[in-house]
Amino acid sequence: LTCVVSPDILIRHDRDDRAYRALAEPFTAVARIGRAGAGVLVAPQWVATAAHVGMGFRRELGVSVGSRRFDVADVIAHPDWKETGGPAAADLALIRLSAPVTGVEPVGIYDGN
């Protein structure tokens, strides 16, 4: 079995790329951060991600939601996050986009068990 590693998924040579795209279709609020990071749209102008992603990407690459690219206005890391380590629970960041995303429903707070 031959596989190609992508920044987001494992792609198998014996599967059609349409199958991977079909899996992603319901998740329109997923954001691509820079070249290899990912996050999720949680409000029209805010993306939640890991602090090591939010603080480590080249901001000039922007954030993409759907087919639109957005400039980054600000990145706010959890106050307990440290680049050299720290509690795993603090590896959180919010990215404020330069403009609100329209046409994509942000992910709500999970209210299940």
**Three-state SS for 5?**
strand
pLDDT score of 86: 67
Give all strands (DSSP E) within 13-92, no chain letters: 30-33, 37-43, 46-49, 63-65, 68-70, 72-77
Q: What is the helix (H) or strand (E) element at residue 22, kind and residue range?
A: helix 17-24
Instruction: Summarize the confidence of residues 37-52 as an average pLDDT.
Output: 94
The pLDDT of residue 1 is above 60: no
HSE of 83, CA atoms in CB hemisphere, 13 A: 4
Confidence of residue 5 (pLDDT cuts 50, 70, 90): very low
Residue 52: closest CA among 81, 17, 27: 81
What would the mean pLDDT of 25-32 be, rounded to a whole number?
86
Residue 20: what are its φ and ψ, rounded to 5°?
Answer: -70, -45
The structure's pTM equals 0.77
Mean pLDDT of 16-24: 70
